[in-house]
Structure 1
Amino acid sequence: MLKVERPKTLKESALASLRDAITSNTLKPGTRLVERSLCETMGVSRTVVRECIRHLESEHLVKGIPNSGFVVASISDEEAREIYEIRALLEGIAVKACCEVITPEAIKQLYALHEEIALHLKNDDIKTALKLTTQFYELIFKTAEKHVAWVLVTQLNSRISRLRAYTLSSQGRKTKGPQDLYDMVKAIEEHNPETAVAICERHVREAYEIATTIDKGSDT
């Protein structure tokens, strides 16, 4: 029997909306989260808003300030460096393994995702490009059967998406980023793990270098 997709609850929809606003940098670091305003904007109750804020606090996207409520959290340079180090390690492992087991169908899907990412970046649709980039890497990890590694990545995904939003908005990254993804897929298709991993590591390193030059705001 086919699995029946469950429609999203009001809380799930509100959580996704608020998370997207933070990861896309629509709500910038340090922005105070006022319950009444959020209720009016999203059309939900204060109970739902509070549950969403608590959930995002567990994802380190929101931070509680004593006697001031909650604000959008910032990402320190130290946190960013560690996140990129973990990205390079886990993505390199997945890309290498993917070279050994890749199928023509998976290659076709990766190229299709690359084209969509490039198109949406060209049209300045960062939000959609971020979602597609997550799908791109998820396909690599799952094709490589690195399921535990992907779980670790998903636990960081909210903050990874925020950093990607910063870097993808920078000059040149909108074209250089997709080109790196294309070159990576090409190397995977050719079963060339050394080249694929080198491209992956370079892509992450360059993203980190861009992120360190951008003012990511303050939550204090």
Structure 2
Amino acid sequence: MKERKNKLMQKVERPKTLKESALASLRDAITSNTLKPGTRLVERNLCESMGVSRTVVRECIRHLESERLVKGLPNSGFVVASISDAEAREIYEIRTMLECSAVKACSQVITPEIIKQLYDFHDDIALHLEKDDIKTALKLTTRFYELIFKTAEKHVSWVLVEQLNSRISRLRAYTLSSQGRKTAGPKDLYDMIKALEEHNPDTAVEICERHLREAYDIATTIDKGSDV
């Protein structure tokens, strides 16, 4: 009887509030580099662009300030924050430690069903990058890694990654603007999946490390702007 009840009960997703939708829109514009570092966030313009009130805009800006995507300047309002080379280096160091650990653990428990999902993510990421749809590719890449972490049961590690995801996505957007990265990046993901499929943790970790090292090298050579 209990099993029958569970089958009947479907999880209902809560509709996004106006603030949540506006926050996601503004965050996407920053992480995809549509709003570049140093860009001043003029409340009136944001209200008109997103069709929301100044109260909602102010709440969104404050939230993004806590994510370090936005920075307040004395007597000058808010601007899109930059990511320094030192911050980028530290983020990639943390990513390398956490992602390689998750990839290694994932290789030991991965199933054919998970492998298929990862290949599907890879195909979708590559397709959207071919179309220059960076925003969708970034979201899919986050889901790709989320699947790896959760398959590996690295739940605490994923919480830490989630806290950095906004800045990770910004750095990914920077690197994807470089020559050849739109094809080299998906190829690395494909090779990683192949190693996972073969339950070869050493190769999977090696590919993960190389992928992040190359991304970091690109990120440090790109002008990521300044706060003003």
**TM tier, smaller:** over 0.9
Q: Residues 141-160 of structure 1 correspond to what in structure 2 (within 5 A)? A: 141-160=149-168
Percent identical across equivalent pairs?
Answer: 86
1:194 is aligned to 2:202: yes
By how many angstroms is 1:123 displaced? 1.1
- 2:105 is matched with which residue: 93, 97, 100? 97
Distance 2:177 2:200 in 1: 31
Which residue in the other structure is 2:69 paired with? Answer: 61
Partner residue of 2:79 out of 71, 78, 85: 71
Equivalent position of 1:20 in the other structure: 28
Aligned partner letter, 1:183: D
C-alpha distance in 1 between matches for 2:96 and 2:41: 33
Shift of 1:169: 1.4
Query: How does 1:1-220 map onto structure 2 within 5 Å?
Result: 1-220=9-228
CA root-mean-square deviation: 0.5
For residues 126 and 4 of structure 1, the distance between their equivalents in structure 2, rounded to whole angstroms, comes to 29
Counterpart residue type for residue 128 of structure 1: T
User: What does the per-residue CA deviation read over 1:140-173, in whole Å, with 9 as the maximum and x for residues that have no partner?
Assistant: 0000000000000000000000000010111010
Aligned AA for 1:30? G
Gaps in structure 2 of 5+ consecutive residues? 1-8
The code of the aligned residue for 2:216 comes to: Y
Shift of 1:2: 1.8
Distance 1:38 1:122 in 2: 30
SS where residue 30 of structure 1 aligns? coil
CA offsets 1:161-220 (integer angstroms, 9 cap, x no match): 000001011101000000000000000010000000000000000000000110000003
What secondary structure is seen at the aligned counterpart in 2 of 1:33? coil
Q: Which amino acid aligns with 1:187?
A: A
Q: Which amino acid aligns with 1:196?
A: A
Runs of 4+ with >3 A deviation: none
Displacement after TM superposition at 1:78 (Å): 0.1
- Separation in 1, partners of 2:178, 2:14: 38
Distance 1:186 1:17 in 2: 35
SS in 1 for 2:102: helix
Q: Secondary structure at the match of 2:218?
A: helix
Q: How many residues align structurally?
A: 220
Greater Rg over alpha carbons, structure: 2
Q: Which amino acid aligns with 1:87?
A: R
d(CA) in 2 for partners of 1:6, 1:16: 15
